[in-house]
Amino acid sequence: MGLEDSGYIGLALEILTNAGVKIGDIITVINSDHKYSGILMPRASIGSDPNHIVVKLDNGYNIGICLSSDTIIERDMRVTGERTPSVVSLETNPELPTVSILSTGGTIASKVDYQTGAVNPALSAQDLYDTIPELQDYANISAQIVMSKLSENISPSDWTKIAKRVATHIRDGVDGVVVAHGTDTLGYTGAALSFALQNLPVPVAFVGSQRSSDRPSSDAALNLIRATDFVGRSNIAEVLIVMHGETDDSFAFAHRAVRTRKCHTSRRDAFQSINSSPLFKINEDSFMELSSPLYRRDLGRKLKVKANFEEKVTLVKIHPGLRPSLIDYLVSEGYRGIVLEGSGLGHASKKLQESLSSAVDSGLLVAMTSQCINGRVNMNVYRSGVELLERGVIPCEDMIAETALVKMMWLLGNTKKLEKAKDLMTTNLVGEIGLRSEYKEYHYSLEGGVVE
Amino acid sequence: MGLEDSGYIGLALEILTNAGVKIGDIITVINSDHKYSGILMPRASIGSDPNHIVVKLDNGYNIGICLSSDTIIERDMRVTGERTPSVVSLETNPELPTVSILSTGGTIASKVDYQTGAVNPALSAQDLYDTIPELQDYANISAQIVMSKLSENISPSDWTKIAKRVATHIRDGVDGVVVAHGTDTLGYTGAALSFALQNLPVPVAFVGSQRSSDRPSSDAALNLIRATDFVGRSNIAEVLIVMHGETDDSFAFAHRAVRTRKCHTSRRDAFQSINSSPLFKINEDSFMELSSPLYRRDLGRKLKVKANFEEKVTLVKIHPGLRPSLIDYLVSEGYRGIVLEGSGLGHASKKLQESLSSAVDSGLLVAMTSQCINGRVNMNVYRSGVELLERGVIPCEDMIAETALVKMMWLLGNTKKLEKAKDLMTTNLVGEIGLRSEYKEYHYSLEGGVVE
C-alpha cells in the first residue's frame, strides 16, 4: 500500500515520502542517538500524531519512534515491500498445557494488515505467533475466531454464542480458555459467561487491550501472555478478567468477572474488582492468590451450559427529575425486568414509588443496586428504602449494577418461575454477592488503599 | 415518650425497662470499667442493634454505649424527663465571620426530638449550638430551614428554591454559606447551584453526613464545623462539597461540586473528586490548597442568579441489549435532551445510531459521557465514536455524567437557542471540564493513588 492511506500525516508523512519507503518495507531509522530496524507499520487509529512512526521490531513488538527533521530513514533492500512472516514452530510441545484462544473482536484481536493498512479483527494461531511469539513458551495454542465485533456491538445473543463456543473447547479437553474481547463491554460478557457456564472444570479468562497493537504502549501482548499462562497452569476454575494491574508492563490481575468493571476510559489498569479484591496477581513467574477462589480446577467436573438471556430487561439510573412515566412505559412495552441504579444505600424518589409498585404488580422483576458503585445496598436504614422493599423491590446487596443486569437477563432467560428468579437474585451463585463482613476495601482518592 | 417507640430492642430495651428510665432522662450507665452520664436518646434509625444505647454527654456529643447483662443504669433524680437545653450565648462576636447555615433536610439536618423520639429535619440556630457547641468558635451563625427533604426526593425545582435562598443570604452580606443536604443527591444539587449562582463573591459549601447524628460514628459534627470554618475564612468563591477526607475524624476535603460524586454507599469518605483533585484539605487549624480555585473571594463581585432547570432531560446508561425504542420513546414524549452514559471512550451499539440520529434531528440535545466514571470521552479513536459525532452527539470530555445531566437541564432551562446550548455543553464554565493534559490521577484499587 502507498503512504497516502497509511494514517501518517505531517512530518512523518514527509520524511517517509522523501525516503521513498512504503508500508511493509523493512527500514532503518537513524535518530541522533539511536538506530532502529524493522517493518514499517501503518497507523491504525484515527487522529494519529504527526511526529511518530510505528515499526515492528524483529522480536515481534511494535514500537513508536519519534521523528525530528534530522531523522534519516533508509530502506533495507533485502526485502522490498514483501511481507516476511516469521517462521515459528506450530508443533505441539507435550511439556506445555493446551489453551484455546477465542477471538470475539475488539482492539486486542485487531491485526494490522500491512499490505492494505486496514485493521482487521483476525486472530489465527499463525497471526498470534507472528505478533506475540512468546506465547509458544507458555502453551500449545489453538486459536479460533468466534466473531469480529467491537464490544459496544456485542449483544446478549452474542453472549450465548460465545458461551457455547467456549463450552465446546472445554469439552475437547483443553486446560484453559482465553477469550479476547473488546474492553467496552468486557465486564458484561464476562458476567454472562460466569452464569452460563456451570460446573466449570477449568478456568476461562477474558482479556482485552486498552491500546491498539500498533501503539507502542499497547497492553495486548502482556495481557494475552499472562492470561494464557494463567489459564494453562493455575488451580482455579472460574470465569476471570485478566488485565494490566498497573500502568507499567509489570503484572496483571485475575479478577472475578462478576465483580469487575471498567473504571477508566483509557488507562491500561482500567479494570477493577469492586467490593472485593482481585483473585490473583499474575507475575511473570508466579501467581499470588489474593482471595480464595470458589472453584478449583477439576477435570472430572462436568460442564453444564445454560446460555439463554432475556433481552427485555433494562437498567435505569435514578436521578433527580426522573419521570415515573418512564417506568410505566417499560411496563406497557412488556419488559420483564428492571435493574435500578438507585442513590446512596438504594433509594429512589418517592414520586417513583407508585410506578415501581405497579411494575412489580405487573410481574416485572425490579431490583435495586447503587450508583455509588462501591459499597452495599441497605434498604432497611431509611424510610425511602423500607417503602421500596415493602413494594417488592429486590435489594442486590453489594452486587454491581452491570452484573445485576446480566444476572436478571440470565435468570429470566432460564426460568419461568418469577418467585424462583426473585430468590436467586439475592442468592450468591458465583461470587457476585459478598458476605456483609467480608470486605471493606475502597478505591480511595488521594492517599489510596484506605481500609475501613 | 415511653420506651416502646424509642427504637430500642432486645437487651437494651430490657435493661432500660428494668431501670425504670425513659427517653430524655439523665442517666448514669455503669459498665465493668467505665461510667457515663448523660441524657438517654432514642434510636432514630430502623434496625438498630440490641446491644447499644445512645447517650448525649454534657459536651453535646452523642455516644453509643455497649451494654452487657451486668450493666447498671441509674436515673439521675435532678431532672426527670425534662429537656434541659444547654444555655449558649447567641451574641455576635465581631472577631468572627458571619456564616449562614441553610438546611434542606437529610441525615445531617436531622435532630432527634427526645420528647417524641421522632427524627426531625429541623436545624435552628439554637438547635445547632445545642448539638455542636463548637460552631460558635468559628462563626456567627444564622441558621434557616429551607426545606426538610431526604435528598432522594429533591427535584430540579427544589434546586431553584435552594439557589434563590442562598442568593438572598449572600446579598445580605454573609461571608459564606453552608447548605446542609442529604448525601444521596448532594452532588447533583451542588452542580445545579454551581451553574445557577454566577459571579459568586463568597464560597458556598454543601455538607452532609453519612451516619445519623444518634450514631457514635456520625460525621455530622466534623463536616459542619469544617465547612463553617472554611466558608467563613477561605479565599475561594466557588460552590463546594465539604465532607470527610478519610474514615477518621481527622480532616475534610473541599471538593469542587461539579467534579464530585458519592462513590460509596456508607463510608464517611464516600465523596470523591473525579478526574481532578479536591481543591482544599481542611485541617482543624489550616487550609491546604491542593488545586487552584477558579474564583477567589471578592465581596465586590455582583452575584447573578440563573436558576431555571428544564426537567424533560434524562440520563440513559448504555448497556448490551439496550433497545433503540427507548430513545424513540423519549423523542415522542417531547424530551428536550438526553445524556448518555456510553461505554469506554464514549460508545454505543450501532443498533442505537439511527434512533440517536433521529433524536438529534428532532431537536434534542444528545450528549455522551462514560460509564467508566474516570477518564475522558474521546470519540475520535474508534469508528463507533466517529459515527456518533457525525450524527450530532456531543462529547462531554471529562465531565461526569451527573454534572452533564444537571448542566444540560440548566442550559435548556435558560436559553431557547439550541446551538448555543450545544456549544456551551462542551465549554468549561465553572471547572466541570478539565484540560486534556491537566490531570492523570485515578482511583486505584489495591496500591492506590497510582499516578500515570
A295-326 pLDDT tens trace? 999 999 999 999 999 999 999 999 999 999 99
Asked if B265 and A154 come within 8 Å (Cβ–Cβ), the reply is no
pLDDT at A337: 98
Residue B89 has pLDDT above 70, yes or no: no
B248 vs B440 pLDDT, higher one? B248
Residue B344: how many other CB atoms lie within 10 Å: 32
Please indicate, yes or no, if residue B375 is contained in any of the structural domains. Answer: yes
- Residue A283 and residue A414 share a domain: no
Please give the average per-residue pLDDT across A132-159, as a whole number.
91
pLDDT at B251: 93
- Identity of the amino acid at B321: G
Most A-contacting residue of B262, B289, B343, B441 (CB-CB within 10 A), to test interface: B343
Which residues, 6 or more positions from B420, have their beta carbon under 8 angstroms from its beta carbon?
none
Task: Measure the CA–CA gap between A97 and A175, rounded to whole angstroms.
Answer: 6
Write the DSSP assignment of A352-368 as a string of letters: GHHHHHHHHHTT-EEEE
Confidence label for A331 from pLDDT (cuts 50, 70 and 90): very high
The last residue of one of the domains, among B254, B274, B305, is B305
Residue B184 annotated in active site? yes
Tell me, yes or no, if B147 comes closer than 8 A to chain A by beta carbon: no
- Calculate how close chain A gets to B62, using CA atoms only, in Å: 19
- Identity of the amino acid at A408: M
- Residue B262 and residue B164 share a domain: yes
Please give the average per-residue pLDDT across B164-184, as a whole number.
96
Please indicate, yes or no, if residue B390 is contained in any of the structural domains. Answer: yes
B360: helix, coil or strand? helix
Please indicate, yes or no, if residue B48 is contained in any of the structural domains. Answer: yes
CATH of residue B53's domain is: 2.30.30.520
Tell me, yes or no, if A178 comes closer than 8 A to chain B by beta carbon: no
CATH of residue A416's domain is: 3.40.50.40
- Residue A190 and residue A124 share a domain: yes
Residue B446 has pLDDT above 70, yes or no: no
Tell me the pTM: 0.81
- Residue A174 and residue A149 share a domain: yes
Q: Furthest-apart CA pair in chain A: how many Å?
A: 78
For the four alpha carbons of A167, A173, A176 and A177, in that order, the dihedral sign comes to negative
Lowest mean pLDDT among A407-421, B180-194, B370-384: B370-384
Confirm if B186 and B213 have CB atoms less than 8 A apart. Answer: no
Instruction: Give the nearest partner residue to A317 out of B315, B342, B370, using CB atoms.
Output: B315
Among candidate residues A351, A367, A131, the one with its CA nearest the CA of residue A228: A131
Half-sphere exposure of A408 (CA within 13 A, CB side): 30
- Residue A66 and residue A41 share a domain: yes
pLDDT at B50: 82
Task: Measure the CA–CA gap between B272 and B289, rounded to whole angstroms.
Answer: 16
Asked if A265 and B159 come within 8 Å (Cβ–Cβ), the reply is no
- Crossing angle of helices A418-425 and A401-414, in 10° steps, is 150
- Residue B159 and residue B64 share a domain: no
Q: Report ipTM (2 d.p.).
A: 0.81
Residue A388 has pLDDT above 60, yes or no: yes
pLDDT at A52: 82
pLDDT at A325: 98
Residue B183 annotated in active site? yes
Beta-bridge partner residues of B119? B112
Q: pLDDT tens for residues A147-201? A: 889 999 999 999 999 999 999 999 999 999 999 999 999 999 999 999 999 999 9
Task: Measure the CA–CA gap between A186 and A406, rounded to whole angstroms.
Answer: 12
Confidence label for B1 from pLDDT (cuts 50, 70 and 90): low
pLDDT at B21: 86
Give the position of cell 450493666.
B71
Residue A339 has pLDDT above 80, yes or no: yes
First to last CA, chain B: 58
Please indicate, yes or no, if residue B143 is contained in any of the structural domains. Answer: yes
- Residue B415 and residue B356 share a domain: yes
pLDDT at A83: 40
pLDDT at B439: 46
CATH of residue B295's domain is: 3.40.50.1170
- Residue B160: phi and psi, rounded to 5, are -60, -45
Give the position of cell 508492563.
A249
Which residues, 6 or more positions from A150, have their beta carbon under 8 angstroms from its beta carbon?
A105, A106, A182, A184, B347, B382, B383, B384
Which residues, 6 or more positions from A309, have their beta carbon under 8 angstroms from its beta carbon?
A156, A157, A159, A160, A192, A406, A409, A410, A413, B321
Residue B262 annotated in active site? yes
- Calculate how close chain A gets to B97, using CA atoms only, in Å: 31
- Residue A229 and residue A171 share a domain: yes
Residue B399 has pLDDT above 50, yes or no: yes
Confirm if A182 and A152 have CB atoms less than 8 A apart. Answer: yes
DSSP H stretches of helix in B291-343: 324-332
Task: Measure the CA–CA gap between B372 and A263, rounded to whole angstroms.
Answer: 4
Task: Measure the CA–CA gap between B86 and B84, rounded to whole angstroms.
Answer: 6
B316: helix, coil or strand? strand
Structural domain span for residue A33:
10-75
Strands (E), B52-151: 52-56, 62-66, 72-75, 98-103, 110-112, 119-121, 140-145
- Crossing angle of helices A324-332 and A353-361, in 10° steps, is 10
Please give the average per-residue pLDDT across A16-44, as a whole number.
82
Instruction: Name the A residues in 263-292 with CB < 8 Å from any B CB.
Output: 263-267, 269-270, 272-273, 277-278
B325 vs B441 pLDDT, higher one? B325
Q: pLDDT tens for residues B116-144? A: 444 555 566 667 767 787 888 999 998 88
Cβ-count burial B28-63 (b if 16+ within 10 Å, e if not): ebeeeeeeeebbbbbbbbeebeeebbbbbeeebbbb
Out of B262, B369, B403, B407, which one is annotated catalytic? B262
- Residue A378: closest CA among chain B residues belongs to which residue? B265
The last residue of one of the domains, among A305, A333, A361, is A305
- Residue A103 and residue A59 share a domain: no
- B160: part of which helix (H) or strand (E)? helix B156-171
First to last CA, chain A: 58
- Identity of the amino acid at B268: R
> Percent of chain A beyond pLDDT 90?
61
Residue A158: how many other CB atoms lie within 10 Å: 22
- Identity of the amino acid at A34: H
pLDDT at A45: 53
Q: Between chain A and chain B, how many beta carbons pairs sit less than 8 Å apart?
A: 258
- Residue A181 and residue A105 share a domain: yes
pLDDT at A449: 28
Task: Measure the CA–CA gap between B355 and B317, rounded to whole angstroms.
Answer: 15
Please indicate, yes or no, if residue B165 is contained in any of the structural domains. Answer: yes
Residue B213 has pLDDT above 60, yes or no: yes
Asked if A333 and B325 come within 8 Å (Cβ–Cβ), the reply is yes
Please give the average per-residue pLDDT across B70-80, as a whole number.
71
Residue B228 annotated in active site? no
pLDDT at A371: 98
Please indicate, yes or no, if residue B446 is contained in any of the structural domains. Answer: no
- Residue B264 and residue B229 share a domain: yes
Using a 10 angstrom Cβ sphere, with 0-12 exposed, 13-18 middle and 19 or more buried, the burial of residue B407 is buried
Please indicate, yes or no, if residue A440 is contained in any of the structural domains. Answer: no
pLDDT at A78: 52
B446 vs A375 pLDDT, higher one? A375
Residue B115 has pLDDT above 50, yes or no: no
Among candidate residues B50, B61, B63, B65, the one with its CA nearest the CA of residue B13: B50
Averaged confidence pLDDT in chain B: 86
B34 vs B104 pLDDT, higher one? B104
Task: Measure the CA–CA gap between B231 and B226, rounded to whole angstroms.
Answer: 9
Task: Measure the CA–CA gap between B329 and A152, rounded to whole angstroms.
Answer: 22
* The total number of structural domains that make up chain B: 3
pLDDT at B57: 75
- Residue A273 and residue A187 share a domain: yes
The last residue of one of the domains, among A282, A305, A328, is A305
Task: Measure the CA–CA gap between A265 and A263, rounded to whole angstroms.
Answer: 7
Out of B131, B183, B228, B403, which one is annotated catalytic? B183
Asked if B347 and A152 come within 8 Å (Cβ–Cβ), the reply is yes
Among candidate residues A304, A134, A451, the one with its CA nearest the CA of residue B447: A451
Please indicate, yes or no, if residue B389 is contained in any of the structural domains. Answer: yes
